[in-house]
Amino acid sequence: TPTGSGPDVVGMFDMDPPDPLPSPSDQTSFDPMRHTFSEEELKPQPMIKKARKIQVPDNMKDEKYWTRRHKNNEAAKRSRDARRLKENQISLRATYLERENAALRQEVAEIRKELGRCRSILSKYENRL
């Protein structure tokens, strides 16, 4: 990236919004009940050390350079968007599973109460015999 400052430098790159959520159309195809993440998808990503940036002299910034920069910027944007989408899907799945877990725990608690009542009734009848 250029190291200069001013409006001419900022205008060269498409800036991403701070943290856009995927559009609703992206999310409608994601069903947390049906989607399962593979082991590979759930593995934490390794920390990647960034290579030092090499300044390209202005006299070498020809059409080929700017074409490659533009292509790289687009690829980086696609990669960030894909990562955000994946993170959002995992977050949705986690939220869904947490709610389902809470509902199941509540159901287990109610069934245990009912079991206690049934045992109490049974013990009363057993004591009569």
pLDDT higher than threshold 70 for residue 63: yes
Q: How far apart are CA 51 and CA 2, in angstroms?
A: 16
User: pLDDT by residue (tens digit) across 110-126?
Assistant: 999 999 999 999 999 99
pLDDT higher than threshold 90 for residue 98: yes
Q: What is the mean pLDDT of residues 36-43?
A: 74
Q: Domain locations in the chain?
A: 63-127
Q: How far apart are CA 45 and CA 36, in angstroms?
A: 18
pTM: predicted TM-score of the whole model, two decimal places: 0.51
Q: How far apart are CA 74 and CA 48, in angstroms?
A: 20
Residue 89: count other Cβ atoms within 10 Å of its Cβ. Answer: 19
